[in-house]
Structure 1
Amino acid sequence: MKHPQVDSHTASANLAEVAATLARVIPALHEHEFPQIFTQALMDLTGAEDGTLLWFRSDHLPQVAYNEPRTDGAESTLDAYLQGAFLLDPFYRAAGIDGLRGIFALGDLAPEGFRDSEYFSTWYPLTGFNDECGVLLSLPDGFLHCALTTMATDRFFTAEQLKTIADAFPAIEALAQSHWANAPQFNPIQPQIRQQLNGALATFGSSLLTRREREVVEHVLLGNSTRRIAEKLGVSAETIKLHRKHAYSKLDISSQGELFHLFMDCIFSIPQDYNQDPLIAYQQSR
Structure 2
Amino acid sequence: MPALSIFSKHVAELINTTGSESFPRSMVAMLRELVPVDDATVIAYPGMDMPVIEYFEVPDEGGNSTLDRFVKGAFLLDPFYLAATRDQHAGVFRLRDLSPTGFRETEYYKAWYRDSNFIDECGFIVPLGDQGFVNIALGKTAARSTFSKRELNTLAEIYPTVEALCQRHWTETAGSDTGDNLRAKLHSALEAFGSSLLTDRETQVINLVLHGHSTKTVADKLSISMETVKLHRKHAYAKLEVSSQAELFYLFLDSLMSAQDYESGDTLVAYMQPPPRNPSR
Do they superpose with TM above 0.5? Answer: yes
- Counting aligned pairs with the same residue, the percent is 42
Aligned to 1:3: none
- Given the alignment of the two structures, is residue 267 of structure 1 paired with residue 256 of structure 2, yes or no? yes
Q: 1:240 aligns with which of 226, 229, 236?
A: 229
- Measured in 1, the distance between the counterparts of 2:49 and 2:178 equals 10
Query: Aligned letter for 2:165?
Result: L
1:246-257 residue pairs with structure 2 within 5 A? 246-257=235-246
- Measured in 2, the distance between the counterparts of 1:270 and 1:260 equals 16
Q: Indicate the SS of the match to 1:163.
A: helix
Aligned to 1:95: 84
- Measured in 1, the distance between the counterparts of 2:155 and 2:248 equals 37
Count of residue pairs the alignment pairs up: 273
- Measured in 1, the distance between the counterparts of 2:114 and 2:154 equals 28
Aligned to 1:148: 138
8 A Cα contact 2:47 2:177, kept in partner: no
Q: 2:70 aligns with which of 69, 81, 86?
A: 81
Aligned to 1:180: 170
1:68-217 residue pairs with structure 2 within 5 A? 68-141=57-130, 142-189=132-179, 191-217=180-206
Give the RMSD, CA atoms, in angstroms.
1.8
CA deviations 1:37-78 (Å, max 9, x no partner) are 012222333321111110101111100111123323221111
Query: Aligned letter for 2:91?
Result: G
1:38-53 residue pairs with structure 2 within 5 A? 38-53=27-42
TM-score scaled by length of structure 2: 0.91
Give 1:15 deviation, angstroms: 5.1
Query: Aligned letter for 1:160?
Result: R
Task: Extract structure 1 runs of 4+ deviating beyond 4 A.
Answer: 13-17
Give 1:91 deviation, angstroms: 0.6
Q: Indicate the SS of the match to 2:157.
A: helix
Query: Which runs of 5 or more residues in structure 1 are unaligned?
Result: 1-12
8 A Cα contact 2:50 2:182, kept in partner: yes
- Measured in 2, the distance between the counterparts of 1:285 and 1:199 equals 24
- Measured in 2, the distance between the counterparts of 1:133 and 1:259 equals 27
CA 1:37–1:259: 2 relative to 1, 3 Å: same
Query: Which runs of 5 or more residues in structure 2 are unaligned?
Result: 276-281
- Measured in 1, the distance between the counterparts of 2:86 and 2:142 equals 31
- Measured in 1, the distance between the counterparts of 2:205 and 2:94 equals 26
Q: Indicate the SS of the match to 1:69.
A: coil
- Given the alignment of the two structures, is residue 67 of structure 1 paired with residue 56 of structure 2, yes or no? yes
Q: 1:30 aligns with which of 5, 19, 23?
A: 19
Instruction: Identify which range, 179-188 or 101-110, moves more after superposition.
Output: 179-188
